[in-house]
Amino acid sequence: MRILRTDESRFRALPDFPYTPRYVEVGTDTPLRLHYVDHGTTNAAPVVMLHGEHGWSYLYRHMIPLVADAGLRVLAPDLIGFGKSDKPEDQQDYSFERHLDWLERWLLALDLSNVTLVCQNRTSLLALALVMRQPDRFSRIIAANAVVPREGDNPPATSIWRMFARYSPWFPVPQLIQLGTTRPLTREERNAYDAPFPSDRYKAGARSFAGTLGQPHKELNRQRLWRFLEGWQKPFITCFSDSDPGTRGGHRPLQRKVPGALGQPHITLSGGHFLQEDAAESFARVIINACRPSLAA
C-alpha cells in the first residue's frame, strides 16, 4: 500500500480554521495517520462530527467554536483519504470495512464515551456501523441529511455517480461541495476544500467513496443495520434541509422506525445538502440543545 501525505503548507492560513492538528496512528500492517480536530474542554461530553463525501473537518469550521463554547468537547476526524489524514494512492486500498476499522481504532485510541454522534449524508452508513460496533460509547445520534437505504434500494443516479467518481478524468472537489450548498462559497473556501488534494493522485479515497459506501462489509448488510436501528432506544434526532432533492424524505423512515426518534425535536433547516455551510448556527443550536442532559451532568 503506497501512502501519500499532503504537505502541511497546503493548509496554511485557511479561513476560520485555526485548529492545532492532532493525529492518531490507525494502521496495522502499514503506518497510517488519521487527523482530527479536538476543541473545547478535554473532560467535557464529546461531540464527534463526521464529515460526508468530498469534505473534511473543515466542513464544520463554523460550528466547532459554537458547540465548544456551549461547554462541549468537539472532535472532528478526517477519514483516511480526506483532509489532513493519510491517503492510500490506489482506490483498491479502500473498503467499507477498512474505513470502519480505521475509525474504530481512532475512537478507541481516544477512549471516547458518552459520545454524541453527528453524521452527514451517505457517511451515515459508516457512522451507524461504528455505533453498532461500540453502542455503549454513544449516548445519542444526530443524523443530518442522512442516507440510510433499505435492502434493495439502488437508485439509477447512485450507480451513475459511482461510475463518474471512479472513472471521470475530472473530479473537482470544490465544485462538488458548491453544488451541495445554496450560498456561494468564497474563493478561499473553495481553495480550502481543494487543499487536501495537490493532484489527482491524492483523490483515490474521495473517488472510491461512493462505491465503498455502496458495498458495506458482509457484517453490515442493510437489513442488519435497520434491525439495529429498530432497537435503538437512545435519542436519535434527524436534521434535514429544505433544498436537497437527493435526501428529501429520508427523515421519515428514520423517525418512524427508530424508537429513540420518538418525541425528539426533529427539524428541517433552510439550506442545501451541506447544512454545515448553509445553516451552521442553526445546526449547531440543534446539537447544543440535544446535548443539554450531558451539559447538566
pLDDT for res 210: 76
218 — pLDDT class (breaks 50, 70, 90): low
pLDDT for res 286: 97
**Residue 48, CA distances (Å) to 60, 118, 130 in order:** 11, 6, 12
Q: Which residues contact 13 (CB under 8 A, 6 or more apart)?
A: none
pLDDT, one tens digit per residue, over 195-214 is: 999 999 999 999 988 777 76
Which of 226 and 210 is assigned the larger pLDDT?
226
Q: pLDDT at residue 156 above 60?
A: no
- 0.85 surpassed by pTM: yes
Q: pLDDT at residue 217 above 60?
A: no
154 — pLDDT class (breaks 50, 70, 90): low
Can you tell me the mean pLDDT for 66-93? 96
Closest among 83, 106, 26 to 206, alpha carbons compared:
83
pLDDT, one tens digit per residue, over 1-31 is: 899 999 999 999 899 999 999 999 998 888 8
Q: What is the chain written as a DSSP string?
A: --EE---GGGGTT-TT--PPPEEEE--SSS--EEEEEEES-TTSPEEEE---TT--GGGGTTTHHHHHHTT-EEEEEPPTTSTTS-EESSGGG--HHHHHHHHHHHHHHTT--SEEEEEEGGGHHHHHHHHHHSGGGEEEEEEES---PPTT---HHHHHHHHHHHH-S---HHHHHHHT-SSPPPHHHHHHHHTT-SSGGGGHHHHHHHHHHHS--TT--HHHHHHHHTT--S-EEEEEESS-TTTTTTHHHHHHH-GGGTT---EEESSSS-HHHHSHHHHHHHHHHHTHHHHH-
pLDDT for res 216: 57
pLDDT for res 168: 76
pLDDT for res 214: 64
Q: What are phi and psi of 53, to 5 degrees?
A: -60, 145
pLDDT for res 160: 67
| Type of residue numbered 261 | A
Between CA 86 and CA 158 the distance in angstroms is: 27
Which of 153 and 10 is assigned the larger pLDDT?
10
Percent of the chain with pLDDT over 90: 73
Q: pLDDT at residue 268 above 80?
A: yes
Can you tell me the mean pLDDT for 48-66? 95
Cell numbers standing for residue 89? 494512492
3-state per-residue secondary structure call for 237-274: EEEEECCCCCCCCCHHHHHHHCHHHCCCCCEEECCCCC
Q: What's the mean per-residue pLDDT of the chain?
A: 91
The fold of the 3-296 domain, in CATH, is Rossmann fold (3.40.50)
pLDDT for res 152: 52
Can you tell me the mean pLDDT for 67-89? 97
pLDDT for res 164: 67
Q: pLDDT at residue 161 above 70?
A: no
